[in-house]
Amino acid sequence: MKKNLIVSSADDKYFDLLIDLINSIKTSNKDEFYDIAVLSIGLSHENQKILKDLNINFKDPVWNIKVPSYKILGRDHLKTQVARFFLDDYFPGYENYIWMDSDIWINDFQGFELYVKGSEKSGFAITPQVDRAYHKLMNIKWFGIFPVKINSINYKNISKSISRRVGRDFAAYATLNAGCFSYNYKFEGMEIIRKNLQQASQKGRIFGSDQVALCLSVFRDNISAELLPAYCNWMCDYHLPKYSPDSKRFVEPYIPHNPIACMHLAGMNEDRFSNKSHSIQTIEGEKIMLKLRFNSR
C-alpha cells in the first residue's frame, strides 16, 4: 500500500491554478512522498495530455450520493462537493488522502505535513477558519441597539439544508474549511460525514453541503478529528500574509510568523485569474510588491 495521495480537481478555467498546486509539490521534490491525482471536470484533451505527461492519474467524478436532478442542471463541477469525501473509492491503495482545492498551493511542507500526522493520529484533520488575524468573525444586522440577524456560514448553510433550529445551534461554531482536509483509509468517521452529506444535499444547496456535513460530524456527532492551526490553510482573503525574505516563504502576519503551509486564494478572483500584485510587508517591516500565486514572486 502506498503512503499519501493529494487529490485536487479542475476544469479548464482552473487548470492553471491546478498546475500551480502541482508545481508547488514537484518543485520541492515532495512528489517522491506524495502522489498526485485529479478529478477532471471536463478537461480538454490538451490539458488531459499535460496531466498524462506529468504522470498524474485523473478520473471523472460521479455523483457518489443520490442528489435530486433539479439541483444539478448540468453543473458538473458540483460533483466535487461530494466526490472529495470518496477519494479512496476513486484512487484506492493509499493510507492517507489529502483533498486540496485547485486554488491552493503549498508554501511550506513542514506545516503541510500536519495533515498527514493528523490523519494518522485521529483519522481526520482539517483547519477551522479561525485565527487572531481573521478580525471579523461574522456579520450582524442591527435594528437600533438590537441585533436582528446574525449571518454566519454555518447558520446559512445548515438552516437551509437541515433546519433553522440546528442552524441556530451551530451558528457561532467555527467554519471548517472544506478546501483542504485529510483522512486515513481506516477512518470510520468518514461514514458519518457521508451520511450527513447525503442529508444536507437533499434539502439544501449542493454547494455548501460539504461544510454542513463537516460541521455536524465534528461538532455534533463528535467524530475523531485534529483541528489544525490557521497557517495550515491560510485564507488570504481574510488577511494578507507577511513575507520572510530569508526563507522566501509567506508567513503569518503576527509573531512568531510561522510559515504558512497552504496559501488559499478562495474569493480572490483577481489573484486567481489575473495574478494581481499586492503590497506585502516583510517581517522586517519593509513593503514589497508580490503576487500570491505560486512561483510569481
250 and 116 in one domain? no
pLDDT of residue 160: 87
Containing domain of residue 270, as a range? Answer: 238-291
120 and 242 in one domain? no
CA distance 225 to 242: 29
262 and 184 in one domain? no
All three cell numbers of 262, joined, read: 497552504
Whether the pTM exceeds 0.85: the reply is yes
pLDDT of residue 15: 97
Look at residue 10 and tell me if it is in a domain: yes
CA distance 262 to 248: 14
Which residues of the chain are modeled with pLDDT < 50?
297
pLDDT of residue 176: 96
**Does the bond joining 256 to the residue before it have cis omega, within 30 degrees of 0?**
yes
pLDDT of residue 74: 62
pLDDT of residue 101: 97
Burial label for 155, CB within 10 Å (0-12, 13-18, 19+), is buried
182 and 253 in one domain? no
| CATH classification at residue 83 | 3.90.550.10
Look at residue 165 and tell me if it is in a domain: no
pLDDT of residue 1: 67
pLDDT of residue 45: 97
Strand partners, 152: none
